[in-house]
């Protein structure tokens, strides 16, 4: 692998421990994937923030890097294990909170912005078409590649942090034109609801595995529908890029784009995916929206559907702090909270220690949220429309 003089210096330790460790990680990765060289990146987005997932070992590693490391490019963080302001109110144990703050402090020392969201593109970290970046939250990666036309591989937390510290990532995979072409065309039924897009994503992810699907027949989905589709795709398969006919930037530039393989998906299969992600006869402990973190539009829809009714069940909506402060300015948060909804930041029910909060079952409109709640946290789940979630919440 060819390294510039500057990169060699980092590898030899001339820029300190953190830069050296980071370059070692990137060179090892580059060798595995046969990258010829590094490419400079515009931003990084780093997962592995919840103390629940990092544990003591992860925290030690971060503290060591933070002794002399500093990021070279704008870098933002994925959600952590709790709302940094309201953690006591939602029942997070004191000891967990203490460790979580230590993790955040280490990242801050490294110069990473504590945005604590999986939707950095709704919080100011918005890459441009063709930008090379190193992101590590799967739903954000697929959104950046597909909807924004930026270029990132599916980084892990450590490689994204290493890329942030060195300002580089190995040039392979989705950084290269050839690997961005569609591998399969999916002819889809026209969908209306966000949870249907999420289920289609889940279904297509299973089908495509780590390929690049090109969807035809979807019409013009909204930003939130694309977000839901991508999150479903990325959680069920290893998908990191999709194209939507007439919608996403790379197919707009190259409308002749096509794949050799084609498959037809009908609405019955989408329904099957919804049923698969729903346990029967469930009275959920928690109704939640915001996987990936919700937008202003989703908050508005939820409030309008409540139509002045108070929730009777624990109902949480997860957003970035950036979206929350915009929503505060227009009175949305006050209206939702006055009806009993909690709008939480910095975390989500997947990375928070949710079982410790007495939650054993959830209802959500996110395929990813349902899948991880069931498979990672062992909860009973229900995937349903936002209309049904609101009815569930006020029941
Ligand atoms: Fe975000 Fe948590 Fe879902 S990090 S994509 S809300 S699993």
Quick one: pLDDT at residue 307? 98
Nearest CA to ligand 1 atom 3: 291
231 C-beta closer than 6 A to ligand 1: yes
Q: Is the pLDDT of residue 350 over 90?
A: yes
Q: Would the CA dihedral through 225, 226, 231, 233 be positive or negative? A: positive
Q: Is the pLDDT of residue 381 over 90?
A: yes
Contact call for residues 18 and 165 (beta carbons, < 8 A): yes
142 C-beta closer than 6 A to ligand 1: no
129 vs 320: CA distance, rounded Å = 23
For residue 237, name the pLDDT band (cuts at 50, 70, 90): confident
Q: Is the pLDDT of residue 83 over 90?
A: yes
What's the average model confidence in pLDDT over 108-129? 96
Quick one: pLDDT at residue 293? 98
CA of 258 to the centre of ligand 1 (A): 31
234 C-beta closer than 6 A to ligand 1: no
371 C-beta closer than 6 A to ligand 1: no
**Residue in the structure block whose two tokens are 């990765």:** 29
Quick one: pLDDT at residue 359? 97
CA of 2 to the centre of ligand 1 (A): 36
344 C-beta closer than 6 A to ligand 1: no
350 C-beta closer than 6 A to ligand 1: yes
CA of 293 to the centre of ligand 1 (A): 7
CA of 80 to the centre of ligand 1 (A): 10
Over residues 14-29, the pLDDT tens digits come to 999 999 999 999 999 9
Cis ω for the linkage preceding 292 (within 30 of 0): yes
Quick one: pLDDT at residue 94? 96
CA of 118 to the centre of ligand 1 (A): 6
Over residues 263-290, the pLDDT tens digits come to 999 999 999 999 999 998 899 999 999 9
**Longest Cα pair distance anywhere in the chain, in angstroms?**
65
What's the average model confidence in pLDDT over 217-236? 97
CA of 369 to the centre of ligand 1 (A): 7
Quick one: pLDDT at residue 281? 85
Contact call for residues 84 and 116 (beta carbons, < 8 A): yes
337 vs 332: CA distance, rounded Å = 9
69 C-beta closer than 6 A to ligand 1: no
Nearest CA to ligand 1 atom 2: 348
Please report, for residues 184, 306, 332, the alpha-carbon distance to residue 301 in angstroms, rounded to integers and kept in the order given.
34, 9, 11
Q: Which of 234, 369, 370, 371 to mutate to test the pocket of ligand 1 (most atoms within 8 A of CB)?
A: 369
Quick one: pLDDT at residue 314? 97
Atom of ligand 1 nearest to the CA of 366: 3
What's the average model confidence in pLDDT over 63-70? 97
Cis ω for the linkage preceding 339 (within 30 of 0): no
What's the average model confidence in pLDDT over 55-83? 97
Quick one: pLDDT at residue 182? 98
For residue 202, name the pLDDT band (cuts at 50, 70, 90): very high
Quick one: pLDDT at residue 118? 98
Over residues 176-185, the pLDDT tens digits come to 999 999 999 9
139 C-beta closer than 6 A to ligand 1: yes
Mean pLDDT, rounded, of the chain: 97
230 C-beta closer than 6 A to ligand 1: no
Nearest CA to ligand 1 atom 4: 118
141 vs 46: CA distance, rounded Å = 11
Nearest CA to ligand 1 atom 5: 292
Quick one: pLDDT at residue 232? 98
Angle between the N-to-C axes of helices 296-306 and 223-236, in degrees from 0 to 180, rounded to the nearest 10: 100
291 C-beta closer than 6 A to ligand 1: yes
Q: Report, in angstroms and rounded to the nearest whole number, the Rg of the chain calculated over CA atoms.
A: 21
Provide the 8-state DSSP code for 243: E
For residue 364, name the pLDDT band (cuts at 50, 70, 90): very high
Nearest CA to ligand 1 atom 7: 350
Please report, for residues 296, 311, 343, 345, 364, the alpha-carbon distance to residue 327 in angstroms, rounded to integers and kept in the order given.
6, 19, 10, 12, 21
CA of 231 to the centre of ligand 1 (A): 9
The secondary structure element, H or E, covering residue 228 is helix 223-236
CA of 37 to the centre of ligand 1 (A): 32
Q: Which of 81, 82, 118, 288 to mutate to test the pocket of ligand 1 (most atoms within 8 A of CB)?
A: 118
Atom of ligand 1 nearest to the CA of 372: 7
Nearest CA to ligand 1 atom 1: 292
Listed residue (375, 371, 340, 378) closest to 356, CA to CA = 378
245 vs 259: CA distance, rounded Å = 12
Return all residues near 94 (Cβ < 8 A) that are at least 6 apart.
none
């Amino acid at each position: 692998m060819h390294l510039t003089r500057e990169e060699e210096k980092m590898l030899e330790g001339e820029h300190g421990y953190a830069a050296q460790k980071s370059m070692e990680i990137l060179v090892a990765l580059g060798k595995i994937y046969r990258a010829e060289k590094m490419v400079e990146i515009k931003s990084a987005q780093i997962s592995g923030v919840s103390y629940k997932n990092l544990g003591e070992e992860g925290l030690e590693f971060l503290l060591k890097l933070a002794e002399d490391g500093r990021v070279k490019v704008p870098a933002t963080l994925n959600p952590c294990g709790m709302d940094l302001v309201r953690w006591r109110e939602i029942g997070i144990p004191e000891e967990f909170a203490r460790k979580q703050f230590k993790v955040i402090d280490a990242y801050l020392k490294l110069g990473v912005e504590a945005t604590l969201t999986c939707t950095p593109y709704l919080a100011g970290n918005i890459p441009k078409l063709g930008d090379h970046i190193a992101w590590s939250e799967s739903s954000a990666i697929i959104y950046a590649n597909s909807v924004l036309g930026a270029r990132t591989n599916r980084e892990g937390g450590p490689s994204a942090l290493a890329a942030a510290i060195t300002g580089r990532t190995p040039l392979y995979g989705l950084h290269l034109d050839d690997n961005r072409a569609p591998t399969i065309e999916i002819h889809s039924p026209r969908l209306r609801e966000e949870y249907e897009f999420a289920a289609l994503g889940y279904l297509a992810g299973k089908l495509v595995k780590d390929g690049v699907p090109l969807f035809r027949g979807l019409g013009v989905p909204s930003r939130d529908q694309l977000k839901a589709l991508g999150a479903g795709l990325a959680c069920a398969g290893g998908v990191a890029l999709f194209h939507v006919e007439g919608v996403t930037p790379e197919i707009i530039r190259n409308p002749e784009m096509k794949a050799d393989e084609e498959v037809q998906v009908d609405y019955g299969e989408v329904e099957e995916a919804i049923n698969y992600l729903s346990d029967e006869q469930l009275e959920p402990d928690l109704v939640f929206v915001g996987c990936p973190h919700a937008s202003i539009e989703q908050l508005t829809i939820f409030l309008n559907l409540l139509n002045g009714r108070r929730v009777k069940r624990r109902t949480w909506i997860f957003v970035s702090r950036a979206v929350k402060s915009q929503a505060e300015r227009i009175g949305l948060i006050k209206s939702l909270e006055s009806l009993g909804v909690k709008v939480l930041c910095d975390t989500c029910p997947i990375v928070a220690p949710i079982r410790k909060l007495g939650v054993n079952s959830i209802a959500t409109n996110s395929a990813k949220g349902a899948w991880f709640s069931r498979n990672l946290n062992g909860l009973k789940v229900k995937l349903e429309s936002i209309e049904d979630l609101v009815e569930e919440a006020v029941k």
